[in-house]
Amino acid sequence: MSRRPALILTVPLMLAQTPAFAQTGTWPALDDLYVNDHAAIIEAAAEDRLRAALAALRAETGVEMTVVTIARRSDYGYLGLFEDFATDLFNTWGVGDAVRNDGILVLVAHRDREMRLELGAGYARDWDRVARDVVEDSFLPLFRQDRYSEGIETGTMAAIARIARPHAAGKPPGSGSGTGGWGAGLLPPLLFAVFLVAIAFRRRLGDLGLRVRRCPGCGHRGLHQSREVIRPATGTEVGEGRQITSCPACGRRDTKTYPISRPGGSSGGFGGGKSSGGGASGRW
């Protein structure tokens, strides 16, 4: 009896047991817990607003939400569906609380013209419908006009208001973040605007304090401070950054290093959450 038929049947079975994709390269670098704009499509002011909103979300509700942009997933050696790439990235980074699994990942592949709003495993499937509405109503219309920065900011704010905060409050899908009655849809944006003003005011005070400090070298006022990444964090190693304080008058530069937390680690990293593939995708 020929063994050829058995071989023919075995090969498809082996393929069926193999993942539909293969990660042979690296993952996008985790330089920041809130915004990692590797595609360089988010304007600086918008990035500051996003980071402030996501930090407030985490501080007030415990929900970890992060925004990532890349050019193409193939740049990271990933073959297969964009949805699988988003789920694997989510799980590799461990976005969200490990018990509640309520993390959210906004992933935009600029050159692939694809995006994914990936939800943690703690969201019931009914939240996928809300995620789809957020993608179609808030992200894609602006992406189709090549207004990526505005689209990412608008869509992320919508995801916070329509998914993250209602879910954290125990509300059903589609309830939004309103409290009912007049002004229900207006109150959250107003509160967020007040928060942004407070953040901007605090940052301005910090900048003012730095400007009035005297340079240890020449005694002039007007110091400038910036940060740069020396070594991005990975899934297994803590990264390293450098803070630079400089004097425009004499050119003095003082530097100090600081750790960049690895995904899923302690010291302010993600909480080790998982996704089972829930959420919604969009293409334009």
| Mean pLDDT to the nearest integer, 113-138 | 97
CATH class of 35-173+272-283: alpha beta
- Enter the pTM of the model: 0.65
With cut-offs at 50, 70 and 90, classify the pLDDT of residue 153: very high
With cut-offs at 50, 70 and 90, classify the pLDDT of residue 208: low
Query: Where exactly are the structural domains of the chain?
Result: 35-173+272-283
Please enumerate in sequence order all residues whose Cβ is within 8 A of that of 114, keeping only pairs 6 or more positions apart, or say none: 82, 108, 281, 282, 283
CA distance 129 to 117: 11
| Mean pLDDT to the nearest integer, 139-148 | 97
Check residue 215 and give its pLDDT: 84
Share of the chain above pLDDT 90, in %: 56
Q: What angle do CA 178, 181, 184 make, to 5 degrees?
A: 30
Please enumerate in sequence order all residues whose Cβ is within 8 A of that of 95, keeping only pairs 6 or more positions apart, or say none: 64, 65, 66, 103, 104, 105, 120, 263, 270, 273, 275
With cut-offs at 50, 70 and 90, classify the pLDDT of residue 93: very high
Residue 40 Ramachandran class (φ > 0 left, ψ -120 to 50 alpha, else beta): left
Give first-to-last CA distance, the chain, whole Å: 54
Cβ 165 vs Cβ 61: under 8 Å: yes
CA distance 89 to 98: 15
Cβ 135 vs Cβ 155: under 8 Å: yes
CA distance 242 to 112: 33
7 or 240, greater pLDDT: 240
